[in-house]
Amino acid sequence: MKMRPMLTLEDCKKISAAAEAEAKKNSWNVCIAILDDGGHLLHLARMDGATPANARIAVEKGRTAAETRRSTANWQERVGKRVELLRMPGVTPVQGGLPIVLDGTCVGAVGISGVQSHEDEQIAAAGIKALG
Amino acid sequence: MLGIRTFTGAACAALLATSAALAQVPPADEKNPNEALPEKHAYTPYGEPIKLDQARKAAEAALAESTKRGWAMCIAVVAPSGDLVYFAKMDDCQYGSIAIAQHKARAAAKFRRPTLVFERLLGRGDYFSYLATLDDVIASRGGNPIVVNGKIIGAIGVSGGTGTQDDVISQAGLKAAQ
């Protein structure tokens, strides 16, 4: 039997707090979504000033990264070369979603929306780093 | 075949005879409470949307109550428009509750009333079955508007247990937000 690690609510809060701190440090207002490896929402925090659209986009970036086990930046890059990838179901190919990979296993993802896409990804990376 | 045609023709003639404009509308049932025309429109006005810190405080209180009782729940806090501000899924809460908690919160905010209202009215029967046809309604208790200083600043939705368990946790969150 293969055993897989699983994100707990405590893990999610740790990731979310670190991501929020990174955003605050830069005076950015974003939405932070954390999902499990099946794309199910585990935790979400929308900072004051972030829009309703940010809440939806953060979840969709996270879902894409979780279910496909790759960053949404990777999707964005590949869509640029192969436009037909835009028709992939359930894919939001915009930078800002990162899979959470532990010992080669994807346990979920973080999706950020609110500032420029590369800044969104910087926040996601800061969140995941807190997991240790 | 001839019989059906004759009947249809007779029915059409009868309807046309009563009123051409209201040909499709059946007569009012006097026992139906929805036929009444209220003079006033009583509702709680919307206020400034809930802040993240406030939403988190409400959710934390709900999470603490769930943990104390040993229940695994999903907690959603939304702005008056029904858009998510904070969400948390407790470990091992059923997957179905992720969407239901959000739906309950959204319905409580968008319709400015606890989702218990829909549940109870639908339970009364035929005259209230129309409620199930309204956009984005969920007729299950656990969604409650967050009212501060007489204004709705958001709503909290809980799912994961029975309806009454969900509502107890929702109320615990509500209390912390006020």
Which pLDDT tens digit goes with each residue over B28-46? Answer: 999 999 999 999 998 999 9
What pLDDT sits at residue B1?
43
Number of domains in chain B: 2
**SS3 assignment for A51-74:** CHHHHHHHHHHHHHHHHHCCCHHH
Distances (CA, A) of A23 to A1, A28, A59: 40, 5, 17
**CATH code of B138's domain:** 3.30.450.150
Question: What mean pLDDT is predicted for residues A115-119?
Answer: 98
Specify the CATH superfamily of domain A9-129.
Haem-degrading domain (3.30.450.150)
Q: Cα distance from A28 to chain B (closest Cα, Å)?
A: 14
What pLDDT sits at residue B144?
98
> How many whole angstroms separate alpha carbon A72 and alpha carbon B115?
37
Range 12-51 of A in CB contact (< 8 A) with B: 12-13, 40-48
Q: What is the pLDDT of residues B140-166, one digit of tens each?
A: 999 999 999 999 999 999 999 999 999
Contact B88 A40 (CB under 8 A): no
> How many whole angstroms separate alpha carbon B63 and alpha carbon B75?
8
What pLDDT sits at residue B21?
61
* Structure-token pair, residue B31: 């026992």
B116 within domain boundaries: yes
B37 within domain boundaries: no
What pLDDT sits at residue B12?
46
Interface test with A, best of B57, B78, B87 (most A CBs within 10 A): B87
Mean predicted lDDT score pLDDT of chain B = 91
What pLDDT sits at residue B106?
98
Residues B64, B20 share a domain = no
Q: Cα distance from B87 to chain A (closest Cα, Å)?
A: 5
Domain boundaries, chain A: 9-129
Band (B20; pLDDT cuts 50, 70, 90): low
**SS3 assignment for chain B:** CHHHHHHHHHHHHHHHHHCCCCCCCCCCCCCCHHHCCCCCCCCCCECCCCCHHHHHHHHHHHHHHHHHHCCCCEEEEECCCCCEEEEEECCCCCCHHHHHHHHHHHHHHHCCCCHHHHHHHHHHCHHHHHHHHCCCCCCCCCEEEEEECCEEEEEEEEECCCHHHHHHHHHHHHHHHC
Question: What mean pLDDT is predicted for residues B73-102?
Answer: 98
What pLDDT sits at residue B178?
82
Residues B22, B96 share a domain = no
> How many whole angstroms separate alpha carbon B157 and alpha carbon B141?
9
**Higher pLDDT pick, B133 / B10:** B133
A130 in reach of chain B (CB within 8 A): no
Q: What is the pLDDT of residues A5-62, one digit of tens each?
A: 999 999 999 999 999 999 999 999 999 999 999 999 999 999 999 999 999 999 999 9
Q: pTM (2 decimals)?
A: 0.91
What pLDDT sits at residue B15?
47
Q: How many residues does chain A have?
A: 132
End-to-end CA distance of chain B: 68
Residues B64, B19 share a domain = no
Its domain, for residue B9, covers 2-30
Residues B166, B110 share a domain = yes
Please name the residue of chain B whose CA is at the shortest distance from the CA of residue A52. B83
Residues B170, B130 share a domain = yes
